[in-house]
Amino acid sequence: MPDRGDKDVDMNEKSVSFSEGQTQNVPYIHKIGVPPKPNLVKEFKTTVKETFFPDDPLRSFKDQPKSRKIVLGLQAIFPILEWGRSYNFNKFRGDLISGLTIASLCIPQDIGYSKLAYLKPQYGLYSSFVPPLVYAFMGSSRDIAIGPVAVVSLLLGTLVSNEFDPDTQPDEYLRLIFTATFFAGITQATLGVLRLGFLIDFLSHAAVVGFMGGAAITIALQQLKGFLGISTKHFTKDTDVISVMKSVFKNAHHGWNWQTIVIGASFLAFLLVAKYIGKKNKKLFWVPAIAPLISVILSTFFVYITHADDEGVAIVGKIDKRINPPSIDKIYFSGENLVKGIRIGIEAGMIALTEAVAIGRTFASMKDYKVDGNKEMVALGTMNVVGSITSCYVATGSFSRSAVNYMAGCQTAVSNIVMSIVVLLTVKFLTPLFKYTPNAILSSIIISAVIGLIDIDAAILIWKVDKFDFVACMGAFLGVVFKSVETGLLIAVVISFAKILLQVTRPRTAILGKIPMSGVYRNIEQYPEASKIPGVLIVRVDSAVYFSNSNYIKERILRWLTEEEEEDDDLKATKIHFLIVELSPVTDIDTSGIHAFEELYRSLRKRDVQLVLANPGQQVLDKLYASGFPDLIGENKIFLTVADAVHTCSPKLNHEV
């Protein structure tokens, strides 16, 4: 032990005196490393760096001339300037094929998703033109395909329709959509600029699985209106399953249209078969990708030649041929609608961000390249801000489109540019062809698309691994299905935070025992063969010790001690003289934690038990020495390992070695 006062002992000696008056030979005891006096400024810089800049984004700027730093700065903002230098025809060929493929998928989907958001069809197409272009220049993912998605469309439509009726207040409704999109982008970009991307990790994977599954069912139920031919004015605006099913059966005798049902069911079967073929044979990935466009072409042609629209089959109607008109004058920048737009924008922006970053990371890991989460947030935020002033609503990464993009052999984000150009040409020249497209086919396309969001295998795995995670999953799922998308999202967030709080305030502790024929000490529940040391209780704390859990940890350790003493009395075993606290899992401690250890020391002293600490980390040791805690318990009571502590404290160890 280091020379810190009269309480120190020379740990280099080969014999140690014990409280019971016995002297025994023990192995060499390693000295605990005494921390130097901490440098406050250096410590603060390190903390800030590891919190906000763990990837060291400025590393490439070191020792570079000013001109090179400018180039690197531009490349950091616009990654296309970096990979564009090595772009060639072979890469373009892959991007061209994948861009055309995802365009054939996105065009019918966009028209359908715009209806989920209670918008006219052209707004879905607008949102697959401008945002993908912006992302292609600023995004770091090579595989993600940008555009409207079902979940965000439903969420946005639900939240905004709670404020304005899209049928009776179309202008106010559209303005709030653009306002929410603007602030969704501001939220996303701000998180990226301030390096706060870790905040989206607070929404647990289990909660996202449940939320997405519930949203998928809600979206599918909403499509029954178009699938069955029920008039919008006769269909409920609520999204919960009970209200929707009541509305469906209430209109069974007069609202259903059999021609619409035949069209919808036939093409839904076709789409599901196409999806099955693509799933079974990866080389035929293009089959489910092209199936929606084929469905639109065939169903539109059928309605046109049979005049089915005269028989009550609802059709898309005329689509505006204008290219993204400016909409900055429609955004609310003052008044109570500004507050509504900010609130809705934050909710929609966070969900869109979570989905996009998850998709980007998934495909990046498959191709073994790195996606910068903070750059992604800036790119997604910028594209939505630009989109909001060019008549777009919230766009993000689409999993179905990104999967097709990946399978089609995309090489870079140029595939998004190709898709944007195809959408532009469609808006300008081909929109009249969609006039007779039946709404039922759009419902079929959306139903077939959202089925993939219901991840039963993931839910089963969550159940097997973590029951609390499963509660979060089902809570979010049931909240969306039986109440609303907003309620499900709230439940997902609340349960995710509840789990974090539970883990922080009620950390795990364990009693350790010695593994036979070794110097290793492990949890006796995990290793039943591990034996307790007579006269010594070894407890491990498995978390940082903060104000939120310090009192619980103290009480739990004392409870362990009481239980062990009662057990020893029953067995007439050796009385416990030492309580060793294994601190290796304790990454940090605050003043409340130190105060709790001081109270623990006093409580143990009254029971004639000595407190011993083993293997505290540097951060913990710094704070213990700063508080004077080693002077309280004695510096010779702090050890490098549990084995060292046991060798020193247990007079009976030699009989076991």
pLDDT at 56: 65
- Rg of the chain over all Cα atoms, to the nearest angstrom: 32
pTM, two decimals, is 0.78
Q: How confident is the model at residue 205 (pLDDT cuts 50, 70, 90)?
A: confident
Residue 28: predicted pLDDT: 64
Overall number of domains in the chain: 2
Q: Which of 522, 617, 600 is nearest to 556 (CA)?
A: 600
Residue at 44 is within a domain: no
Domain co-membership, 422 together with 515: no
Q: Evaluate if residue 25 carries a pLDDT over 60.
A: no
Q: How confident is the model at residue 196 (pLDDT cuts 50, 70, 90)?
A: confident
Q: Which tokens hold the place of 536? A: 């010594």
Residues 223, 336 within the same domain: yes
**Are both 427 and 541 inside the same structural domain?**
no
Band of residue 276 on the pLDDT scale cut at 50, 70, 90: very high
CA distances from 34 to 2, 222, 597, 618 (A): 7, 65, 19, 9
Give strand pairing partners of 396. Answer: 147
Do both 245 and 390 map to the same domain? yes
**345 in Cβ contact with 179 (< 8 Å):** yes
Closest CA to 155 of 487, 402, 444, 482: 487
Q: pLDDT digits over 602-645, tens only?
A: 999 999 999 999 999 888 998 999 899 999 998 889 999 999 99
Identify whether residues 372 and 517 lie together within a single domain.
Answer: no
Write out pLDDT tens, residues 284-314.
888 998 999 999 999 999 999 999 988 888 8
191, part of any domain:
yes
Give residue 250's domain range.
91-454
- Give the residue from 496, 502, 393 showing the smallest Cα distance to 110: 393
Q: How confident is the model at residue 14 (pLDDT cuts 50, 70, 90)?
A: very low
Helix (H, G, I), strand (E, B) or coil at 331: coil
- Any domain includes 57: no
Can you tell me the distance from the alpha carbon of 395 to that of 388, in angstroms, rounded to the nearest whole number?
A: 10
Report residue 52's pLDDT band, with 50, 70 and 90 as the boundaries. low
Q: Which of 417, 432, 454 is the last residue of a domain?
A: 454
Q: Which residues pair with 509 in a beta bridge?
A: 541
The answer to whether the CB of 337 falls within 8 A of the CB of 403 is no
pLDDT at position 71 is 84
443 and 511 share a domain? no
In a domain, 532, yes or no: yes
Dihedral sign for Cα 389, 395, 396, 397, please: negative
Residue 655: is its pLDDT beyond 50?
Answer: no
Structural domain contains residue 293: yes
Residue type, 73: G
Looking at residue 199, its pLDDT comes to 74
- CA angle (296 as vertex; 293, 300 as ends), nearest 5: 150
Same domain? 430 vs 571: no
Question: In 232-361, at which residue ranges do the beta strands (DSSP E only) sit?
Answer: none
Residue entry with tokens 């007779």: 436
Q: Is residue 282 part of a domain?
A: yes
pLDDT band at 55 (very low <50, low <70, confident <90, very high): low
Q: What is the pLDDT of residues 457-511, one digit of tens each?
A: 999 999 999 998 999 899 999 999 998 888 888 888 888 888 888 888 999 999 9
Selection from 455, 395, 347, 345 nearest residue 145 by Cα: 395
Q: Which of 433, 454, 475 is the last residue of a domain?
A: 454
| Domain endpoint, select from 454, 470, 496 | 454
CB atoms within 10 A of CB 603: 16
CATH number at residue 623: 3.30.750.24
Asked whether residue 153 is assigned to any structural domain, the reply reads: yes
**Would you say residue 48 lies in a domain?**
no
The pLDDT of residue 486 is 82
Residue 515 and residue 598 in one domain: yes
Residue 654 clears pLDDT 70, i.e. is over it: no
Alpha-carbon distance values, 183 to 176, 249, 263, 311, 339 (Å): 11, 39, 40, 43, 10
Q: What value does the mean pLDDT take over residues 356-376? A: 82
Percent of the chain having pLDDT more than 70?
90
For residues 258 and 357, membership in a common domain is answered with: yes
State how far the Cα of 528 lies from the Cα of 505, in Å rounded to an integer: 28
Helix (H) or strand (E) holding 470: helix 467-482
Whether residues 315 and 240 share a domain: the answer is yes
* Average pLDDT of the segment spanning 28-35: 69
Share of the chain above pLDDT 90, in %: 52
Angle at which helices 618-627 and 591-606 cross, to 10°: 70
Segment 347-368 mean pLDDT: 85
Q: Which residue has the higher pLDDT, 279 or 69?
A: 279
Q: Which amino acid type is present at position 338? A: L
